[in-house]
Each structure stands twice: as C-alpha cells, then as structure tokens.
Amino acid sequence: MKKKVAAKAKKTVAKKAVRASVKSATVVAAKRAAVVYAGFWRRLIAFVLDIALFKILTLWMTIQILDNLFKCMATGGPVFSHCSQELGLFVVQYFALLALYFCFQLSSQYQATFGMRALGLKITDLKGQKITFLKAFGRFFMMFILLILFPLLVLAFLPVLFTKKRQALYDVLTDTIVVKS
C-alpha cells in the first residue's frame, strides 16, 4: 500500500515538474518573441544625452583644471612638468568617472543609463538577463578602445544598422544587446 502511494506521489511530482518546465519554457519563448532591439538613432541619441549629462556633472572639474592650466601658462612656469601631470591626472579621473557612470547604471536594476531610460531602452545579455558590473565594464572598455581606434563614433555604432540584433561592435564583442524596455 505504501509503495503504491509513494509511486503515485512520484508520478504527481513528476507531472507537476513537467508542467512547470513547459510553462517556464513558454514564458521564456514569449519573452524572446517580444524582444524589440533598439535601433541606431535611438541608441545614438541616448548616448549623446548621457555624454551631455556627464559633461554637466563634471563641469566643475573641467573648469578647475583649465583654470590651473591657464595659471601655469600665464606665470611662465614649468608647463610641461607640473601642468602636464595635472592634466594627465584629470584625464585619468575623467575617464574613471565616465566608466563608473556607465557601469553602475548599466548593471543596476534599471539596466540603463539616464539617456537610455529617457528613450525607453535597456541593456541585457544575450539571454535577456541583467548584466554584471564586470560585463558592463568590459563593454565600456571595448567601446572606449573602439572609439580610440575609430576616430568617428559612427564607425563603432555602424554594425547596429546591419546586424540582426542591432548590436554595435562592442555589443557583439561583449555578448550584450540593447532592447526597448
């Protein structure tokens, strides 16, 4: 009797597990079908908004460094020693802050920067999951390197026009996609 009850319980549990996995697979398939990839112009405008906001946020820093550089040049001081060190430190700080601006936001619960949110976009991995801070940093680093290698921003974004998932070159390299949220 106990064996029959145990066997029946196992069958019931197995049926529930199968139903749950089918339901889960259906939900995943529905989510994948509903994905709308973000296009070139929307992504570019979001990026420009983010850079403009970042420039506003770091304006005090820029004014301070330019003031110090002008003072160095006006006094005829050793421009290439002290001033160039200060400028180098500024550049490092600026790009560190820019990386933090992008990485913290892209790996946050919103999965988007302020510019992306304004245009209804978010970033995911290829499975539709939130990306980690490390992946966001890798994406930022790849974008930065590509922008240095390709002087025009458009060249890094150009693959968005031709790839099925509307991925920029740095998205392809880091397995990420930008979708409409």
Give dist(CA 108, CA 91) in Å, integer: 26
pLDDT tens-place string over residues 166-175: 888 888 888 8
pLDDT at residue number 172: 83
Flag whether pLDDT at 66 surpasses 90: no
pLDDT tens digits, residue range 20-56? Answer: 665 655 555 555 557 889 888 898 899 999 999 999 9
Query: What mean pLDDT, rounded, does the chain reach?
Result: 81
Please report the pLDDT score of residue 134 as a whole number: 96
Residues in CB range of 116: below 8 A, 6 or more apart? 46, 50, 122, 123, 178
pTM score of the predicted model: 0.71
Phi first, then psi: give them for residue 121, nearest 5 degrees: -120, 160
Of 143, 140, 151, 119, which Cα lies nearest the Cα of 45? 119
What pLDDT, on the 0 to 100 scale, is given for residue 16? 66
- Round to whole Å and give the CA distance between 131 and 142: 15
Q: Is the pLDDT of residue 64 over 90?
A: no
How many other CB atoms are there within 10 angstroms of residue 113's CB atom?
26
Q: Which residue has 């490092």 as its token pair?
A: 92
Strand partners, 178: 123
Render pLDDT for 81-121 as a digit per residue (tens, 0 to 9).
666 777 778 888 889 999 999 999 999 999 999 999 999 99
Q: Which residues contact 2 (CB under 8 A, 6 or more apart)?
A: none
